[in-house]
Amino acid sequence: MKRLSSLVLCGSLLLPGVAAFADTATTSANAIDAVKAESASLLEQITKSLTGLASQAGTTTGAAATTGDSFVTQLQSLATSIQSGDDAEASGTLQKLMAAKPTDGQLAVLNDVRDNFALLALGRNFDTANTATQSAVGSAITAIKTGNTTDIVTSLQGLYGNARLTDTQKELVTGLVGSWNPKLADVATQAGKLRDTAKLFGF
């Protein structure tokens, strides 16, 4: 009887930890499911923002040319990549656009596009049946919705480093981190760290 009581006691001591793990998994799953449910709306918002920005940029100046292509061409390329599901390519294009010295107004729109695209891409590019991947993706989604740059970068680092990603997924995550570079530079400087993406990934 004493042995049985000990087993029950041990079991009860373990339950809080198990419950906490289950709560974390549930939270991550809920965050991912919510983004997947919003995917059509996110895509619509992104398309509308990029179309409007391209139209305005075609009649105004402010953004520098990016790697030989005009700002408008890059916007159109970004929209095409996102609509076709080529999110790794899209993340690279977005990173170039963010670094193209857009005007304050253009940057505000690009920030919204970046946030919505990051959510869309995270929701449709990872196998969340894997526990580690599910947790990392869920954390990244939560951080993006909260809007804290440090948390966003940290969570994306966690996704890059802890999940078993394909080369395409790594390219996507690298591009997403790069699209936060303007804010990231300030965070990295204050922390006394190197600012390049490779160092942020621990290479």
CB-based contacts of 10, cutoff 8 Å, min separation 6: none
- 40, pLDDT greater than 60: yes
Assess if residue 12 is contained within a domain: no
Region of poorest pLDDT, from 76-85, 115-124, 148-157? 148-157
Domain ranges, residue 39: 21-200
Assess if residue 132 is contained within a domain: yes
Count of CB atoms situated within 10 Å of the CB of 16: 9
Assess if residue 111 is contained within a domain: yes
Identify whether the C-beta of residue 50 lies closer than 8 Å to the C-beta of residue 113.
yes
CA dihedral 38, 80, 127, 29 (to 10 degrees): -20
Which pLDDT score is estimated for 173? 93
Q: Compute the distance between CA of residue 19 and CA of residue 76 in angstroms, rounded to an integer.
A: 47
Assess if residue 146 is contained within a domain: yes
Domain count, the chain: 1
Assess if residue 97 is contained within a domain: yes
Assess if residue 42 is contained within a domain: yes
Best-predicted range by mean pLDDT (39-48, 50-59, 185-194):
39-48
Assess if residue 162 is contained within a domain: yes
What rounded mean pLDDT belongs to the chain? 78
Which pLDDT score is estimated for 198? 52
pLDDT tens column, 88-98: 999 999 999 99
Which pLDDT score is estimated for 37? 94
* Phi/psi of residue 154, nearest 5 degrees: -60, -45
pTM of the model: 0.74
Assess if residue 193 is contained within a domain: yes
The full DSSP string for 21-90 is HHHHHHHHHHHHHHHHHTHHHHHHHHHHHHHHHHHHHTT---SPPBTTB-HHHHHHHHHHHHHHT-HHHH
Give residue 194's pLDDT band: very low, low, confident or very high (50, 70, 90): very low
